[in-house]
Structure 1
Amino acid sequence: MDVLWNIIVLIVIGAVAGFIARAVIPGKQSMGLVATVVLGVIGSFVGNLLGSLIFDGEFSFGTAGWIGSIIGAIVVLGIYVAATSKNRRVTR
């Protein structure tokens, strides 16, 4: 039952972080509900990695909490938008 509860919490945190990241990053991101949750979950792991690098230097494979998850989701979505943008300028 403990594992199921952790998965439910991860999905809820991922959904909230993903929706907030999509609201913060300008432009249209063509993502559905599942992609938004996945964005938030990946953002949570990225936020945990960034937090461990900045604060204690020891990485543990887990979630980062609300603020770390939102920051991580914003970083991941920013990278995604930059990588898939159709209006990128090519400088020569």
Structure 2
Amino acid sequence: MIGAIVSAIVIGAIVGALARLVVPGRQNMSIGLTLIVGIVAALIGTLIAQAAGVADTRGIDWIEHILQLVLAVIGVLLVTRFGPGRTGRTRGTPT
């Protein structure tokens, strides 16, 4: 149980950090929010991979990790676009 929690945190941190590297531009997100987005993306990606039957393969589960990264990128984009303090307007547009 404890090992699964630690594993989820570590994988979530890696997936969240990679997602922030993939998304162009500067993201105004805290480390904690990055970790949460990464953990959620890792969990949902694992569930999708298990449902598709590709979560437990020999060696590295590349399809599962790619799913996790894609979901984390989507999560980072959603948080940076619609997160707290965002109005949906870009700089320089009149209010």
Structure 2 unpaired stretches of 5+: 54-62
User: Equivalent pairs: percent with the same residue?
Assistant: 27
Q: What letter matches 1:74 in structure 2?
A: V
> Structure 2-normalised TM-score?
0.64
| Residue in 1 that maps onto 2:14 | 16
Q: Distance in 1 between matches of 2:37 and 2:65?
A: 14
Decide whether aligned partners of structure 1 residues 26 and 86 sit closer, same or farther in structure 2, where only a CA change above 3 A counts: farther
> Structure 1-normalised TM-score?
0.66
Higher helix residue share: 1
**Aligned pairs for 1:76-87 within 5 A:** 76-83=75-82, 84=86, 85-87=88-90
| Residue in 2 that maps onto 1:66 | 65
Decide whether aligned partners of structure 1 residues 9 and 68 sit closer, same or farther in structure 2, where only a CA change above 3 A counts: same
- 1:23 is displaced (CA, Å) by 0.6
Deviation per CA, 1:51-85: give whole Å up to 9, x if none: 467x36xxxxxxx9533221210121122233244
The alignment covers a number of residue pairs equal to 79
Decide whether aligned partners of structure 1 residues 27 and 86 sit closer, same or farther in structure 2, where only a CA change above 3 A counts: farther
Rg larger in structure? 2
